[in-house]
Each structure stands twice: as C-alpha cells, then as structure tokens.
Chain A
C-alpha cells in the first residue's frame, strides 16, 4: 500500500539549515510527484513545493530563496532542504503524494526552531 514517512531532526538552531527526508513506498517517484506542506502549531496548511515525476520542481515563491527539494529515485526518497531557519519556521512538516489532489500524506515531523 502507499505510504510516506518523514524523518529528520526535531530541533534546529536559528539560522541553521533544515534537512528532511520523505521515504515513500507503494508507488514510484517517476510516476507521481511529491509535495512538501507545513503546518505551524494550531494553524493552517502551507504548500512549500513540489517535485514532479520528471524531477522538475516548483516552489512557493515566499520560500523559494531558501528552499530546495530533490530526490533519489533508487531509494524512493524525497529531500527537503531549507536554509536560514527562524522561529516562525517552527511547524509540522508533511510530505504528500500528488495524485487526485494530495491523495496520500505522511504522518508529519515536528520541527522546532530554537536555541
């Protein structure tokens, strides 16, 4: 069955770089795109970016200068790398498959930006 699972550090220092991994199973990254979405505590959803099935990417312009999404198809992994983190980047980070809508989601990983 289709599954996505995020992993990465729970605590990041201000101004540091966040690196997260989304490991997928049950589908191929060469057939489906994957999105990163984040949700600050108690708040709504923000789309961050998409890596398409052909490996091309699109980013939220509000984050574009700090954000990079890449993948390793042989490992079925999608990576998020975001630089210059600030406290307002504290959020749950989720990956979601792009099918008919965002049809499968990971459980999310809580990232706290704090010294």
Chain B
C-alpha cells in the first residue's frame, strides 16, 4: 500500500498568516498521463470532508484561491494564504493512483 505521511502545523496559526501543510507519499503519484494523483481535503469540525484540490494542483471550482497545491511526484504542499477562521479543521491528503486509495493521517489547523 502507498503510505501517505503528513506534517504538523505550528498551531495556533495567527489569522492572516500563511500556513503550509506537507504530505509525502511512499511511491511517486505521477502517472504516465502526466497527472499526479493527489487530492487535498478539509474536514471542518462536525462535518464531512470536502475536496479542495485534485491532481495535486487543480483547485475545485468555488474553493478560495487562498488555497494552492504544489509538489513533485512524492512530496506535496498545500499552502493556505491569509488563514481565516473558516479554515479551521483537519486537512487530509489522499492518493488515488492505485488501490487501496490511502489518506494521510491528517493535519490540524487552529487559528489564533
């Protein structure tokens, strides 16, 4: 199975500052079609997850442009610019290159 390892944030993050969440995969997620099969999700307290970014860097329509995804085949970053109170929750990366689709353990964001 592909193991997804997420880094922690130096919580709480001051409102208006930037936050970067890292995710590392045990295998390259770059496929022969040129796409990188990595998604990012946010799970707000008491809610179901919502997808923010797919194919490593494509933002879902309607998601704030303060969210951006980047990376290589195995190392990924979700950057949140100017964090706001509504960004609070747990962020998950997920690989969907091969079965089983695996998630990282989650990174909690708290705002000061």
Contacts and interface: CB of A to CB of B under 8 A. Distances in A.
Interface stretch (B10-18, B24-32, B46-54, B80-88): B46-54
Interface string B31-47: 00000000101010000
A54 interface: no
B92 A58 contact: no
Interface in A14-48: 35, 44-47
Interface string A97-109: 0001111011110
A94 B54 CA distance: 20
Given A44-B92, A44-B105, A44-B106, A101 B51 contact: yes
Interface residues of A, number: 21
A87 interface: no
B48 A100 contact: no
Given A44-B106, A58-B99, A102-B51, 6 more contacts: A44-B103, A45-B106, A47-B101, A60-B100, A100-B54, A103-B51
12 contacts: A35-B101, A45-B41, A45-B92, A45-B106, A47-B94, A60-B100, A100-B60, A101-B41, A101-B60, A103-B60, A105-B49, A107-B48
Top 3 nearest A-B pairs by Cβ distance? A101-B51, A105-B48, A101-B39
